[in-house]
Chain A
Amino acid sequence: MSDVALRMEHVYKKFRKGESFNSLRDLIPALTGRMFRQQELSQTDKREFWALQDVSFEVKRGEALGIIGHNGAGKSTILKILSRIMKPTKGELMVNGRLSALIEVSAGFHQDLTGRENIFLNGTILGMTKREIESKLDQIVAFSGLEEFIDTPVKRYSSGMYARLGFSVAAHVDPDVLIVDEVLSVGDYVFQQKCMERMREVINGGATVLFVSHNLKSVTEFCQRSLLLEHGHIVEIGPTPQVISSYLNRSRSEHLKSADSKSVVISKVTVRNAAGECLRFQSGEKAWIDIELTAYKRCSKLSVSLYVTDEQYQNVFDTSTERLGHGNFILEAGEAFICTFELQLNLADGVFHPSVIVYRYDTQTEYDRWAPAKTFYVSSDQDVRGAANLFPKVTRHEIRSKAASVAAIASDEGRNLA
């Protein structure tokens, strides 16, 4: 066995837009019509489009590869071709070992069967043997946290329970190649953490993973390498942080193409340290964010707002030129405006996204928004968690004897009474 787990070579996939003939009644007249009018053939050709064009990549055994791109870029098509649900129009494809796809994990469920029966049904559909399922049944049930309801028909489950059961089965397949498509968003926070944990286990267990997600944070966390897909082409393949930043830049240039109608656009955002452009910082370091605006029409009372979100796009910090006492400004058509925010990154370990909005202060009209504009990474020497780094120190650390602690409580109570 080679160390390549899966490979795609020059894969093309063509789809047909619109309805094709889907009843014999329509097909037969159409076929006879076509014999007389040749030009109809070229018309049907126009209705076809390429969902994937010349896609080639390979993934090594034990590697995790992320796939990012806009909706409709062809991510799901790649996964469907790899999992053999669809056949490529052209090109070669090689998968080494058992492949399992975490796509629509509860697709195999039947409403009228109980949770237990569905575990067996779905497990077999995903390629497990009955014996294998029997040996893992307890684990699966425990993972789902549905012990009490396991003999209830799944039609009485809530949608969260449904998804949890589906994921629990799928997560125990032990594949050589695992394909994950945006399924980690099921269940509550605790269950999501459990899923992430399980993913990590699978990866550490030596499986090859292909991960498709819009959650750039999880992609960064799981995949050293990523692939950027745009309109069916591979645009870039390389280290994840680099691919993500070019993904964000490209989204922006797409946006700017339609900028004619706008009055002001944010044309450039740069994150840098004292030395120059930079995306990796130590906690507590200083960062400068340069923002450039270009005006197409005269605009007055402008202000630039900068906010920073965490990996889940929750707001962590938010400010604006106007709130920092720089009033508001007027731009004539053709003028550019440059400003720099200096930030002290009192942030804990993690991924952060600065976003920029330019707006008119008094009417609260938004002219342009670039969110997220960039992604930067903060690391810290201390093990601190959460969004902010409050630079903690433990200044007292002692164990009291029982007598002393009773005395302390008594004196506390005495103080409260007084």
Chain B
Amino acid sequence: MREELQELNKYRELLFMITYRDIKVRYKQSIMGFMWAILMPILIVMSGIVVRYAYVLAAHKQLQMADITSVAVKSLPWAFLVSSIRFGGNSLILSNRDLVTKIYFPKEIFPLAAVMSSLFDFAIAAVALVVFLAVVQVHVNLSLLWVPVLLLTLIALASGIGMVVAAGSLFFRDVKYIVEVLLTFGIFFTPVFYDVRMFGDKGKWLLLNPVAPILEGLSACITRQQRPDLSWLAYSVGFAAVALLGGYVFFKHLEPAFAESI
């Protein structure tokens, strides 16, 4: 394990190079250019607003700006997670097939590079979000210091899942489709369009989804200037750590068989 991590460190330039390639290629071929990074989150936010509007209509209330900011704050990280897992999962079998069978280097670079390039998209969209938040006058406050912790947890989770899915879909063709379905419907089991608070006591079942405490935490510290729920955050951090470590060990365990199984 230690040796493997040292080797990964030795190849870090390659990780940046592959990330750079993925980003460059994504923007080079698209008419929209950087709009691409924003399009997907905007679509999620719009659908979130529609769903939210339905709630308030049913409850005979008014749509609040806080509802919209909350949806926006949670949509971006969700889009990042989905794109990391989707690109990461396909990174061995689609875009880098030749490299997997022909040249030696630590292959976890591919799913990790997918996470990093998705993070780049996320950063661009985040700039737009910050502008939006500034316009609607969200207050700067100390609880924002929790944001990096929450994001790091999310990145760890995305990397762990990405590695598992990448290795899994190399051996079994249908893993890709299963994951695709999970990603599509996952949004309904994750508090992106709604808040866990709306469910009252039953909300804790939704928080068992390790992504939920992260998104709720982000929403809490950005839109409500509150500290995230620490025990649930600890749960997510623990889950992400296990996913990252377990995903890495799983990936490294299967890696020697990649070239002959692809």
The residues of A with any CB-CB pair to B shorter than 8 Å are: 15, 20-25, 27, 80, 83-87, 101, 103-104, 107-108, 110, 112-113, 117, 120-121, 124-127, 129-130
Contacts and interface: CB of A to CB of B under 8 A. Distances in A.
Contacts of A112: 25, 28-29
A245 to B, nearest CB: 33
B61 interface: no
Contacts of A117: 21, 24
B175 interface: yes
B174 A23 contact: yes
Given A22-B261, A117-B21, A130-B17, 14 more contacts: A22-B171, A23-B172, A23-B173, A23-B174, A24-B175, A83-B103, A83-B104, A85-B101, A103-B103, A107-B98, A112-B25, A113-B21, A124-B17, A125-B105
Contacts of B18: 121
A83 B21 CA distance: 24
Contact of B105 (A27, A104, A110, A127): A127
B241 interface: no
B102 interface: yes
13 contacts: A21-B172, A24-B178, A27-B172, A85-B103, A87-B257, A104-B102, A107-B103, A108-B98, A108-B103, A121-B18, A124-B13, A129-B13, A130-B13
B256 interface: yes
B8 interface: no
B119 interface: no
Contacts of B102: 85, 103-104, 107
B173 A113 contact: no
A180 to B, nearest CB: 14
A87 B256 contact: yes
B25 A113 contact: yes
B104 A84 contact: yes
A307 B190 CA distance: 78
B3 interface: no
B174 A126 contact: no
B149 interface: no
B13 A86 contact: no
B184 to A, nearest CB: 18
A103 B104 CA distance: 11
Contacts of A103: 102-103
Nearest to A106: B98
B21 to A, nearest CB: 6
A89 to B, nearest CB: 10
B14 interface: yes
A188 B170 CA distance: 37
A54 B18 CA distance: 38
Nearest to A27: B172
B260 interface: yes
A273 to B, nearest CB: 47
A24 B169 CA distance: 10
B9 to A, nearest CB: 13
Contact of A125 (B29, B99, B172): B99
Given A107-B103, A126-B103, A15 B98 contact: no
B104 A110 contact: no
Contacts of B99: 107-108, 125
A113 B104 CA distance: 22
Contacts of B174: 23-25
Contact of B260 (A22, A86, A124): A86
